[in-house]
Structure 1
Amino acid sequence: MGARFEELAWASTAMGEISLRRRVEPTLGVDVFEVKLGDEFLMSSLFTVAEVELARLGLAALPDPDGGGLDVVVGGLGLGYTARTVLEDARVGALVVVEALAEVVDWHERDLLPDTVGLAADPRARLVRGDFFAATATDDGYDPDAPGRRFHAVLVDIDHTPAHVLHPSHAAFYTVDGLRHLLRHLHPGGVFALWSDDPPDEAFLGVLRAVFGSVEAHVVTFANPLTRGESANTVYVAR
């Protein structure tokens, strides 16, 4: 541990001021890495269980690939825990991470986050600066080097919940029409998985069921060291 507080990176973006900071959590005596967008806390290295489970649950829903490896998209890079967990699965052949903010990509290219050092340098991974939601709505999709490329899994952790989005332009994605656009970018039998900060939402489950044949909502619980209680997120998995 170094100083009690350190701002590692800061930038003004179209979505507001974004910052990466490291602080010492006094109740635990550990370094915590946090991301803020404007006045909102987006993510913390104290709470990564559900980000990890997003990758594990999403990939667990896939059978082993026939020849080659799994092609995976992660929408939203953040602190990198979902992407890192994807790369821990030996079945994965290629990972494309779509991140709207070049500043976040830069954090990982500079290895500012100890838990995900080397993520950007992994030969299977490409960090693409782009609008995940805009890419979903196009025929070209997520890989600018291979327009129309399909994937076995698309794992998304960008907004707080389907109803609490970071930008109004994201809302259309969480509709039947929006998810039908996503379906075009999946191989037959492919998986869409989504992280949410709220309990399972029956309205959104209805949207998923209108598009996908198999839908599950997993409640992921984890110890909260700040409240000394238990917290929970939701991971939706649709195939």
Structure 2
Amino acid sequence: MIMRFEELDYQPTAMGDLTLRRRREPTLDVDVFEVKLGDEFLMSSLFTVAEEELAHLGLAAVAGERLDVLVGGLGLGYTAVAALADPRVSTLTVIDALPAVIDWHRRHLLPVSESLVGDPRTSLVCDDFFGLMRRDIAPGAARYDAILLDVDHSPRHQLDPSHADLYTVEGLLALARHLREGGVFALWSDDPPDDEFLVTLSSVFPAPVAHVVAFDNRLTGGTSSNTVYVARHAA
């Protein structure tokens, strides 16, 4: 019998049981890395285009050199590694609330782990991104040229109810304080563009854009899509 599934790690968390597994996808003859939280699938290495485009689209909207970038949500690491591919990135801070996820990369369990942790520009930080955004900015505290966020399924569908306040005007104003003038906030979403959220976003950031990122779904033979919101901080 051929073993199709291998559990690489299992950790109980406050949000549910977190599982990293590798499986062989026979229809494509590839190894697939998947993350589950409880019974819910969070991410798969089969579908990384939109995660990478979160970095590409977000950083394309940022002017200047020697950029300081903050990524909220480490996951499989594809957004962070895509950001590192931009030579203008001087520092990359990646925040994840789950110590196990950071440990996966430090143990080189995932395909991009070595590239990520081996880059001297990278700092992996175990913290609550949403809590960090709520905190007041102390004099001399770090501000960023770009904040790239991929944690929740969408502004309407959060992994944890405590995240919901970020997607309000008050929450976005708090986040904007962590950006430098002209800095960019970019957000991944599994849902189609949300007109109501765009109105909320435009209350804080002038002229935000919702990019639809389409990609081939190798399992269905069709096309799937995600959304990447990009918003620039005016002042």
Q: What is the TM-score normalised by the length of structure 1? A: 0.94
SS at match of 1:218: strand
Match of 1:163 among 156, 162, 177: 156
* Distance in 2 of aligned mates of 1:187 and 1:216: 19
What is the deviation of 1:147?
6.4
- Residue in 1 aligned with 2:231? 238
Q: Deviations over 1:179-203 (max 9, x none)?
A: 0000100000100000000100000
C-alpha distance in structure 2 between counterparts of 1:82 and 1:147, whole Å: 27
AA in 2 matched with 1:207: T
CA distance in 2: counterparts of 1:218 and 1:157, whole angstroms: 15
1:17 aligns with 2:10: no
Structure-2 separation of matches of 1:77 and 1:157:
8
Where in structure 2 are the equivalents of 1:1-239 lying within 5 Å? 3-65=3-65, 69-140=66-137, 148-239=141-232
Deviation string, structure 1 residues 138-195 (Cα, Å, up to 9, x no partner): 0248xxxx96210000000000000000000000000000000001000001000000
Query: Which whole-Å CA distance do the structure 2 matches of 1:3 and 1:94 have between them?
Result: 41
User: Match for 1:237: what amino acid?
Assistant: V
Does the 8 Å CA contact 2:155/2:167 hold for their aligned counterparts? Answer: yes
Q: Is the 8 A contact 1:221 1:232 kept in 2?
A: yes
Q: In the alignment, residue 24 of structure 2 is paired with which amino acid?
A: V
Offset of residue 116 of structure 1: 3.3
Give the 4+ runs in structure 1 shifted more than 6 A: none
How big is the alpha-carbon RMSD for the aligned residues of Structure 1 and Structure 2? Answer: 1.4
Q: Displacement of 1:3 after TM fit?
A: 4.1
More off after superposition, 180-189 vs 116-125? 116-125
Equivalent residues of 1:81, 1:116 under 8 A apart: no
Distance across 1 between alignment mates of 2:137 and 2:73: 18
Question: For 1:56-105, what per-residue CA distance to the aligned partner results, in whole angstroms no more than 9, with x for missing partners?
Answer: 0000001122xxx1000000000000000111100000010010000000
Taking every aligned residue pair, what percent have the same amino acid on both sides?
A: 62
Paired residues, number = 231
Cα shift readout 1:20-39 (whole Å, capped 9, x = no counterpart): 00000121111000000000
Matches of 1:110 and 1:47 in 2, distance apart?
A: 22
Preserved contact between residue 137 and residue 178 of structure 1 (Cα < 8 Å): yes
The CA deviation at 1:121 is 2.7
Which runs of 5 or more structure 1 residues have no equivalent in the other structure? none
Counterpart residue type for residue 27 of structure 1: T
The residue type equivalent to 1:57 in the other structure is L
Identify the range of structure 1 (220-229 vs 146-155) with the bigger mean alpha-carbon deviation: 146-155
